[in-house]
Amino acid sequence: MAVINILSQHVADMIAAGEVVERPGSVVKELMENAVDAGAKNITVELRGGGATFIRVQDDGCGMAPEDAGNCFLRHATSKLKDERGLEAIATMGFRGEALAAISAVSRVELLTRRGEDAEGTRVTVEGGDILEMHPAARPQGTTFTVRDLFYNTPARLKFMKSDRAEGAWCVQLALRVALGRPDISVRCLRDGKEEFFTSGDGRPDSAVYALLGRETALSMLPVDGENEGVRVTGFVSSPAMGRGNRAMQFFFVNGRSIKSPILQAAVEQAYKNTLLVGRFPACVLYIALNPGAVDVNVHPTKNEVKFSAEKRVFDAAYYAALNAVHGENRPLEMELSAGTKKKLESAPAPAQERPAQREDRPKPAGATRFAPAYTKPPRGELELHSPLPVYRRSAPAPYSAAAPTAEKSYTPALPAERRPEPVPPPKPDPAPEQATLFAPREAPGKTEKPAVRLVGEVMRTYIVAEQGDTMLLIDKHAAHERMNFDRLKAAGRQIMSQTLLAPEPWHPSQEDLEAVRENAELLAELGFELEVFGEEEMIVRSVPDALDPAQTIPALEEISEKLRRGRRDLARDEILQTISCKAAIKAGWDTDPRELQVLVDKVASGEIKYCPHGRPVAVTLTRKELDKQFRRIV
Ligand code: ADP
Ligand code: MG
């Protein structure tokens, strides 16, 4: 009996649709890109709910002839590519003729289109890939695609959809990227009848940058403009003071196409070397313009990855352009804003402490509207860079307490209650023998006692040296502390202790981060975060987990939202506990009280702690025998 079936064209199309149309956002992207390719000057995107029930994209581009209006839904029907030679230098967004076939295979589509030269337009309705009707119809020049009931005939895919909120936000995000890639096109985006964003199409990316990155980040952007061997790089990078906890705010465009690019990402991050803290990422909106022949866009189904023929040249161009911006002349962090953006900006809700008193008094240069960042919070990194945070001292002055929100508690009670410090802990580089005994590992009765452990000291402000019988221990103090925190949080049960911040901390997450946080509000509350939505896109953090150093609030939230977006739902809780544990742990390079080191030594010596929550070892050991061998005392 034959076991191989030849799939019908219809089924094949539905499978192909899975590659191109993953979520409603993919439909928005493909339809908008078609509008861009059609030479539109104005594009309107409307969606309802999360986009699955309704997406409409209208443009004033070239429109289609009646016969093309029917053919465009066929697989491999494209007006953009004639033969394989065209593949070598693609200057359009689309080229495979797959998107409309894929979209129409899994939804109900209505197309209304008219070319300028035609007396009348055409209306086509398609359902599950079959053309149902086709009539002449009236329309000004341009095209409207309406896509309803996405995935109505592929229930499996429907199951993978997230909430309307998340899918809708992703649609808006993708629309924004298309808009940002082409500042010369005016894009209006409506969701449930409400305007999500509008770009004027005046050729300047700033209003879209503002909409995409949010006020705080947009105002701190440094302009970029550079060229290297035919690769032009323009756009914006964030000032080093504005490092972020993840890469959600890095956007790259190659010839107007939004792409992911490890090379460009590395180039930009390299430019921040030694100016951004490790673990912080720059934000950027970078436009790379180069000869279409020097970039292959046909390497990924959704076309959001590309291959450069001269990677080094592209890397260098981006690196030097960003470097010049970061280390350029000390220009004030200013950005020209269009009148529309400025209006939006002024009406935007700003947290009280951010609202600039001096904005109105600033002299405005004639002809241009200029803005300086009104809110100059000291760089977050300062705290860690210039003054190692004493985990131990409650009385230590918080270095930026005068200017920035501080918390009720300026340190983390990282140790068990009975070992909390006196106000000034006397340094004890060499603990008394009875102390060593006191904290010797407690073995279960019946087991052979392990020898007592002695703290010898610390090297490189990173590794603890200890001895236990005939074994020398080298312990990574951060990793060990991280593990200890993690275990305690895990043992604490469902509801983690929370601390109220003295001054609530404003947070401006990216749209995706915001959605992730909203979706997981319950989990975050359990973990001790109290967050409040403020205005459209701002959050106010009122409480954080008790174990977390309040100065780490925003970095922790950024890392957590990244994990929530990327990670598996069932693992979310542990992942977040890991972040809290890490952010609450003492760091390499910090001064640490010897008694705190002792606690860690005890935990490791007793075998309670072996690996950090990420699975790296916390200690390495050297036995007397190994040392004796090294010194050739024995052979
Ligand atoms: P591709 O964009 O790869 O060519 P699509 O399936 O997205 O494939 O579109 C098929 C064809 O339909 C396009 O090549 C174009 O000729 C036509 N088309 C699609 N959308 C529009 C539009 N908004 N305006 C004019 N023509 C369009
Ligand atoms: Mg297309």
Q: What separation in Å is there between the alpha carbon of 91 and the centre of ligand 2?
A: 12
Residue nearest to atom 12 of ligand 1 (CA): 72
- Strand 295-296 relative to strand 463-468: parallel, antiparallel, unpaired? unpaired
Measuring from atom 5 of ligand 1, which residue has the nearest CA?
Answer: 97
Distance (Å, rounded) from C-alpha 199 to C-alpha 209?
10
* Residue with the larger pLDDT of the pair 104 and 335: 104
Q: What is the pLDDT of residue 17?
A: 58
d(C-alpha 117, C-alpha 471), whole Å: 88
What residue has token string 């000004």? 140
- Distance (Å) from CA 99 to ligand 1 centroid: 8
Region 250-276: mean pLDDT is 90
Instruction: Name the percent of the chain lying above pLDDT 70.
Output: 76
Q: Are strands 335-336 and 142-148 parallel, antiparallel or unpaired?
A: unpaired
Using CA atoms, how far apart are residues 365 and 449, in angstroms rounded to an integer? 78
Q: Is 143 in the pocket of ligand 1 (CB under 6 A)?
A: yes
> What is the pLDDT at residue 504?
86
Query: SS3 of 489, please?
Result: helix
Residue from 62, 100, 110, 118 whose mutation best tests the ligand 1 pocket (most atoms within 8 A of CB): 100
Ligand 1 atom with the smallest distance to the CA of 100 is: 6
Ligand 1 atom showing the smallest separation from residue 72 Cα: 12
What pLDDT score does 41 carry? Answer: 97
301 Cα–ligand 1 center, Å: 16
State the distance from the centre of ligand 1 to the C-alpha of 79, rounded, in angstroms: 7
Cβ of 78 closer than 6 Å to ligand 1, yes or no, is yes
Say if CB 169 and CB 522 are below 8 A apart: no
Cα of 251 from ligand 2 centre, angstroms: 21
**Average pLDDT over every residue of 252-256:** 93
Q: Compute, in angstroms, the gap from residue 146 CA to the centroid of ligand 1.
A: 14
491 in Cβ contact with 498 (< 8 Å): no
Of residues 597 and 417, more confidence is placed in 597
- Distance (Å, rounded) from C-alpha 284 to C-alpha 217? 10
Answer whether 30 contacts ligand 1 (Cβ < 6 A).
yes
Residue 346 has pLDDT above 60, yes or no: no
Q: For ligand 1, atom 21, name the residue with the nearest CA.
A: 34
pLDDT score for 539: 87
Question: What per-residue confidence (pLDDT) applies to 83?
Answer: 67
Cα of 33 from ligand 1 centre, angstroms: 9
Would you place residue 610 in the very low, low, confident or very high pLDDT band (cuts 50, 70, 90)?
confident
- Highest mean pLDDT of the ranges 143-152, 291-300, 481-490: 143-152
Q: From start to end of 97-220, where are the E strands?
A: 108-114, 121-127, 130-137, 142-148, 186-191, 194-199
Whether residue 77 has pLDDT greater than 90: no
CB atoms within 10 A of CB 365: 9
Q: Is the CB of 142 under 6 A from ligand 1?
A: no
Give, rounded to a whole angstrom, the gap between the first and last alpha carbons of the chain.
71
Please tell me if the CB atom of residue 34 comes closer than 6 angstroms to any atom of ligand 1.
yes
Give the mean model confidence (pLDDT) for residues 151-162. 83
pLDDT higher than threshold 50 for residue 172: yes
Nearest alpha carbon to residue 575 among 509, 499, 520: 520
CA distance 61 to 608: 67
Burial level of 588, CB count in 10 A (0-12/13-18/19+)? middle
Stretch 233-256: mean pLDDT, rounded? 88
Q: How far is the CA of 33 from the centre of ligand 2 (A)?
A: 6
Answer with the residue of higher pLDDT: 549 or 335.
549
CB of 72 sitting under 6 A from ligand 1: yes
Mutate to test the pocket of ligand 1, among 19, 28, 34 (most ligand atoms within 8 A of CB): 34
- Average pLDDT of the residues in 174-203: 91
Task: Report the C-alpha gap between 476 and 487 in whole angstroms.
Answer: 17
The chain-wide mean pLDDT, for the chain, equals: 77
Q: Give nearest CA residue, ligand 1 atom 7.
A: 99
What CA–CA distance (Å, rounded) separates 100 from 97? 7
pLDDT over 70 (residue 586): yes
Query: Mean pLDDT over residues 265-283, rounded?
Result: 85
Dist. CA 305–CA 63, nearest whole Å? 28
Question: Which residues make beta-bridge pairs with 238?
Answer: 221
- What is the whole-number distance in angstroms between the Cα of residue 476 and the centre of ligand 2? 53
Q: Give me the mean pLDDT over the 61-81 stretch.
A: 89
